[in-house]
Amino acid sequence: MTDTTIAAPAVATPAQRLAVASQAQLVWWAFRRHKLAMAGLVITVILYVIALVPGFFAINDPEAQNARTPYHPPEAISIRTPEGQWQWPHFVPERLKRDPDTLAAIYVPDPEHAIPIVLFGHGYEYKLLGLFTTDIHLIASANPREPFYLFGADRLGRCVWSRLIQGAQISMSVGLVGVALSLIIGIVLGGISGYYGGRTDFVIQRVIEFVLALPSIPIWLALAAALPQGWPATYQYMMITVILSLTGWAQLARVVRGRFLALKTDEFVAAAKLDGCSEKRIIFRHMLPSFASHIIASITLAIPAMILAETALSFLGLGLQPPTISWGVLLREAQNIRSIATAPWLFAPGIAVVLAVMALNLLGDGLRDAADPYNK
Amino acid sequence: MSNPMAAEPIAAGQPAEGSTVLTVRDLVTHFPVRGGVVKAVDGVSFTVHRGKTLCIVGESGSGKSVTARSILKIVDAPGRIVSGEILLDRPNGKAVDLAQLNPYGRDIRRIRGKEIAMIFQEPMSSLSPVHTVGDQIIEVLRLHLGMGKKQARERTIDLLRQVEIPNPHIAVDRYTFEFSGGMRQRAMIAMALACNPDVLIADEPTTALDVTTQAEILDLIKRLQEQKGMAVIFITHDMGVVAEIADEVLVMYHGKVVERADVETIFHAAKHDYTRMLIDSVKRLEHKSEVRLKREPIPENRPPVIAVENLSMHFGDLKAVDGVSLSVRPGETLGIVGESGSGKTTMGRCIVRLYEPTGGIINYRRPDGSVIDLVQAKGDDLKAMRQQVRMIFQDPFGSLNPRMTVAQIIGEPLLVNGIARGRELDDEVSRLMQQVGLEPAWRERYPHAFSGGQRQRIGVARAIALKPQVIVADEATSALDVSLRFQVLDLLMRLQDELNLAFIFISHDIGVIRYMCDRVGVMYHGRLVEMGDAEQVCNAPTHDYTKALISAVPRPDPRQRSLASRHRYIDPNS
Amino acid sequence: MLKFIIKRLLWMIPSLFAVSFLAFVLIQLPPGDFVTNYIATLAASNEVVDQQAAATLRDRFGLDQPMLLQYGKWVWGIVTSGDFGISFEWQQPVSGLIWERMGLTFILMLSTLIATWAIALPIGIYSAVRKYSIGDYFFTTITFFGLAIPSFLLALVLMYVAVVVFGQDVGGLFSDQYKTAPWSWGKVLDLANHLWIPVIILAVSGTASLIRIMRANMLDEVNKPYVTTARAKGLSEFRLLMKYPVRIALNPFISTISWLLPNLVSGSIVVAIVLNLPTAGPMLLESLMAQDMYLAGAFVLLICALTLVGSLISDILLALVDPRIRLE
């Protein structure tokens, strides 16, 4: 039990800055060192920006069906003319024709009529943040009668890219609401359990263990099947998030409980009690900041689980229903092997899910590693 | 993996006692860190002789542990030996330079555990929690001596008997966590000596043990050393231990050897300032502090500010505190000394009502003269009491909230009790910091920016913020280096005089108690076995247990080696 | 330790009851019951059922009794004679329909669990010991992918690849000739031939989690003092690694079964639906949609019971392996 010298700072900052650095700053500095976590942060932010204003990033109206372009393949952005010269980004429209030999429907490109892509161009009208009506999009086709299918079209001629972007709003937010609910239940139960110990802890801990031991999908399926079919979309959305958080809280509760138990034995908590702090003050002023970063890390890691859950449920047909657009609903189109074989771009929502989950996992991991800057 | 060459342990005693077995020359070990290197060991040289003990002593950060690990090439990555020689003289006359060997190679592995063995500080974490003690010892025997299972098991039982572990044939199948601290260390020693090494390196093996257990282990090592004629390199920061066991001493500071001499010279004719400083610090704690010697004795008839009667604290069946009575007067320091499990810490926590005592009375005399029972106090009484009876904690790391600035930590009691806020609070915090010797300009810093000694001062400032009457100091200096210890003690005594405080000073360290306290109580298994004047209890104790405790403390004077003749206490109840 | 096992076994009983109650409540939640569903289905094909017939049907199926009574009868039937009730849709006793499916589910689970462990353990150890090496980065990247891809998506992709690249139809656990044949060695081999596809798909995410956990556990242990002691005794790096940190890192690893199993079961249900495997999943979904109460309830009950038993086994295994728990 001998004195140790100050641990060398993990980050090479001047000693003075380090000395007055608050916990939040230390966490941020430690986080910044993780390149991958930073990448996760950037991607997550981009995804949520998209989710906030999907209309801006979409190209065509997600609802608009087009009988002339079913299963239209994706159109590439070309920056060279057929002769090989540089040009402003264009796309080459394709026409639906019949193959003379097989009589199957195929798409033939029409390079004569390449259409330029306009940045911040005009497209369909949408409501920005639900308040303003505008028709400006990030990229748009110069010719409003020739839609630009960046990721192709589905069975009904709807633009996959735009639907993908639109679906981000629901898929990324389901996670948030679900986690918020789980968090509330989790913190309350986990906190009570960890702080008071004894019998309450025993009971709550058994409940947590029980919930964690149950497989979630059968329960979700059963709950989702119980939802009346005729409910409006927003109701369905709310109920789905409630269902997801009914089992999701247990993981968070366990983390919170663990942290409280560990903190209870820390001497500065005893010191606070001797200082005359009320229990409320001890919990909120002294203990909570200690594990705020752990909670944030746990939340960030809980969101992908929610996203995957909603996707799975909607994919099976028990979650959100069309015409609501979420990535899971979009993936229902991909369930049919025949359609997938001819239109593999219908997998795009799956890629979006993978990207979102990976980004959030990287972010959460980075936060978790950085959460305890004093424990190196 | 067995060495086909040796089927029997090499018979000890063949090479002459006193002959050189290990020579270290200009050893340099570096740790690359972000932006440079840390020179943990910076040009260290020494020799070790058979049958003799070399003590490597220094404070934390001196590099003594890294030196030991460099010898066996088990320095934690990314450290590595940069230059120097480590010559091991073998009985067959040839020498091998360990520094040249590949740390993962066969050659050094043949030496580890067989010719040079090492024991560590924390036997609980240094032994595997999921393997039996026997398993871990048998492993060494089979690895180096190629013994068969049955033979190895018998030899293991024999080894356990040699280190005085009771019922060795049962102990061999027990797990580490089933033993007490002292027993675990004995098992570790048995494991180290299994192949009769020429050199035993002991890295602070008794630091985590009670002083009586420490005496037993030191005895054991000495005895085994004499039996087998091996050399011992003993690393410690405790000068008393050095005086008791060393033949030669190596003093290290910041990776360099500051002084190297035989033990007599070091203690009585040290040349280097640092060595002298170390010796002085320890010698000072051999007597009562001058400040206290000069002070007027506290009049007997002054009424006590805390009078404990028959206090008990039971945790289920465990009687942590069992009917203890004591008292302390204003301006007085009452020491409570005991080993682990004595209940002294529990006692301290009962007095400040961190625990709810299961029985007894704590009479507290308030400033206005009225007396209340702290055990029963509730509501406003309790709140008021919390302001007047404060605590200083042991762990300078854990007792300060790492997420609060120093200003917030010291100011918390003032804020919470509505005594000051805003500008006034800030001024008061600055004043308190100055009072404990800290720079007020640093109050916006976080605890991680301060050293251990400074953090302890922050804890002291927090304790005196409310101008209390009584402070319970629970092992307040145990986590500090020796040279820092009496600085904090002096600070406490100065504050005591300034504020007329009463101290209840809990410690396991007799030297600190002797230095600081007026009266002392000795606790053993929850009971108070002796109470009296500090001089008398520390120098001429009456109770058997106290006698055993005091005599087991190693004295920092090689001319007064007394451990061998210490009093042994046998508990009539065990 | 015996005390510990008995205590856990005793806990199982109320847990199983809780699960059965949960299953039953879940089944009762949707408004209406099988009869309303049945009527609606018939109405879709323009058949009408009058009130009297509906009442008779209800009475026959016992659907008009109070819920607790229905629950009680159901549980009683299960516990005393393994009678799970009648499937309205299939017009047979439920027990005839579920056991083969549950059996295959069990086999699928077990195989996946073994595969997951067999892959994750060595990779996790390797990753920790060779931290920051190329191999470590490679596996870290793969595990990130593995964690992010929902298993049903993987199943879809695999099906796509199989159809487009190999021109084959994958799905199901048996070739046509063995589908309804009685069990034989040939059938077992056929099963093994088909089983590996869903096992691989399901193992992906579980393996990813376990690798990360094993790596983290190992990294924790590898710097502990007892490893230094072992090194100081002269053990070779490999030996001391295997004997000490790996052995100790295994303990938390074993306790991962308790959450791994429910996740696997969940994943398997969705994958089974996609690949149309004759396991519990597809039939559960169907019965939920049709409100075939007893059938759905039986599946939910058995699936949850499976995972509960799994976590019990993991606890017992842990007690066997960790002397600190064994000797408490």
pLDDT tens by residue, C129-182: 888 888 888 888 888 888 888 888 888 888 888 777 776 666 677 777 666 777
Q: Is the pLDDT of residue B485 over 80?
A: yes
Yes or no: say if A24 and B446 are a contact pair by the CB < 8 Å rule. no
For residue B410, name the pLDDT band (cuts at 50, 70, 90): very high
From residue B370, how far is each of A81, B380, C32 by CA, in Å? 100, 15, 75
The verdict on whether omega for the bond into residue A93 sits within 30 degrees of 0, i.e. cis, is: no
Which positions in chain C touch B110 (Cβ < 8 Å)?
Answer: 234
Of B155, B173, B194, the one marking the end of a domain is B194
Mean pLDDT is lowest, of A308-322, B47-61, B523-537, for: A308-322
Residues B521-530, mean pLDDT to the nearest whole number: 93
Do A176 and A272 reside in the same domain of the chain? yes
Residue C276, C-beta contacts closer than 8 angstroms, at least 6 positions apart: C171, C172, C282
- Is B12 within the bounds of a domain? no
Residues B117-144, mean pLDDT to the nearest whole number: 91
Q: In angstroms, how far is CA B390 from the centroid of its own chain?
A: 25
Closest CA to A137 of A215, A71, A57, A205: A57
What is residue C171's predicted lDDT score, i.e. its pLDDT? 67
- Is A51 within the bounds of a domain? no
The verdict on whether omega for the bond into residue A323 sits within 30 degrees of 0, i.e. cis, is: yes
The CATH number covering residue A335 comes to 1.10.3720.10
Do A113 and A211 reside in the same domain of the chain? no
Do B163 and B258 reside in the same domain of the chain? no
**Residue of chain A with shortest Cα separation from B449:** A19
Q: What percent of chain C has pLDDT over 90?
A: 4
Question: Can you give the residue range of the structural domain that contains B222?
Answer: 17-115+198-286
Burial category of C45 from C-beta neighbours within 10 Å (exposed 0-12, middle 13-18, buried 19 and up) = exposed
Do A94 and A210 reside in the same domain of the chain? no
What is residue A375's predicted lDDT score, i.e. its pLDDT? 46
For residue C34, name the pLDDT band (cuts at 50, 70, 90): low
Q: Is the pLDDT of residue C195 over 60?
A: yes
Query: Please, what are the averages of pLDDT over each run of 10 residues along chain A (376 residues)?
Result: 35 58 75 84 93 87 83 81 78 80 78 79 81 84 81 86 91 87 89 83 87 85 78 80 84 85 86 90 85 82 87 86 87 78 85 91 83 53
The shortest C-alpha distance from C252 to chain A (Å) reads 16
**Residue of chain C with shortest Cα separation from A304:** C148
Do A287 and A193 reside in the same domain of the chain? yes
Do B299 and B265 reside in the same domain of the chain? no
Calculate Rg over the CA atoms of chain B.
Answer: 26
**Domains: count for chain A:** 2
- Is A39 within the bounds of a domain? no
Do B254 and B320 reside in the same domain of the chain? no
Contact check, Cβ <8 Å, C234/B129: no
Of B144, B166, B194, the one marking the end of a domain is B194
What is residue B7's predicted lDDT score, i.e. its pLDDT? 39
Which of A212, A214, A301, A332 to probe the C interface (max C CBs under 10 A)? A214
Q: How many Å apart are CA A361 and CA A41, to the nearest integer? A: 10
For residue B3, name the pLDDT band (cuts at 50, 70, 90): very low
Contact check, Cβ <8 Å, B114/C324: no
Do A122 and A173 reside in the same domain of the chain? no
- Is A31 within the bounds of a domain? no
Report DSSP letters for B21-67, one per residue.
EEEEEEEEEEEEETTEEEEEEEEEEEEEETT-EEEEE--TTSSHHHH
- Is B93 within the bounds of a domain? yes
Closest CA to B407 of B458, B454, B456: B458
Which positions in chain B touch A290 (Cβ < 8 Å)?
Answer: 401-403
Chain A residues 284-313 within an 8 A CB cutoff of chain C? 304, 308, 311-312
What is residue C56's predicted lDDT score, i.e. its pLDDT? 77
Question: Can you give the residue range of the structural domain that contains A128?
Answer: 75-148
- Is B1 within the bounds of a domain? no
Q: How many Å apart are CA A65 and CA C154, to the nearest integer? A: 29
CB pairs under 8 A between A and B: 105
Q: Where are the alpha helices (DSSP H) in B309-355?
A: 344-351
Closest CA to B454 of B397, B531, B526, B385: B397
What is residue B38's predicted lDDT score, i.e. its pLDDT? 87
Do B331 and B280 reside in the same domain of the chain? no
Contact check, Cβ <8 Å, C223/B74: no
CB pairs under 8 A between B and C: 75
Q: Tell me: the pLDDT tens digits for B91-100?
A: 887 888 888 8
Do B214 and B321 reside in the same domain of the chain? no
Task: Decide the pairing of beta strands A132-141 and A115-128.
Answer: antiparallel
Q: How many Å apart are CA B305 and CA B469, to the nearest integer? A: 8
Residues B61-83, mean pLDDT to the nearest whole number: 88
Q: How many Å apart are CA B482 and CA B511, to the nearest integer? A: 11
**Domains: count for chain B:** 3
- Is A56 within the bounds of a domain? no
Nearest CB to C229: which of B126, B144, B178?
Answer: B126
Eight-class DSSP state of C233: T
Eight-class DSSP state of B173: T
Number of Cα atoms under 13 Å in the Cβ half of residue B427: 6
Contact check, Cβ <8 Å, B34/A6: no
Higher pLDDT, B295 or B131: B131
Nearest CB to B143: which of C228, C235, C323?
Answer: C235
Which positions in chain A touch B386 (Cβ < 8 Å)?
Answer: 274-276
Q: Which helix (H) or strand (E) holds A116?
A: strand A115-128
Q: Is the pLDDT of residue B1 over 60?
A: no
For residue B153, name the pLDDT band (cuts at 50, 70, 90): very high
Give the other-Cβ count within 10 Å of B180's Cβ: 14
Return the bridge partners of B474, or none: B506
Do B371 and B444 reside in the same domain of the chain? yes
Residues B382-387, mean pLDDT to the nearest whole number: 89
Q: How many Å apart are CA B486 and CA B464, to the nearest integer? A: 19
Q: In angstroms, how far is CA A109 from the centroid of its own chain?
A: 36
What is residue C21's predicted lDDT score, i.e. its pLDDT? 86
What is residue A16's predicted lDDT score, i.e. its pLDDT? 64
- Is A30 within the bounds of a domain? no
Q: What is the pTM of this model?
A: 0.81
Report DSSP letters for A349-367, one per residue.
HHHHHHHHHHHHHHHHHHH
Q: In angstroms, how far is CA B63 from the centroid of its own chain?
A: 18
- Is B5 within the bounds of a domain? no
Do B173 and B44 reside in the same domain of the chain? no
The tokens 């169907």 sit on which residue? C286
Q: How many Å apart are CA B492 and CA B476, to the nearest integer? A: 10
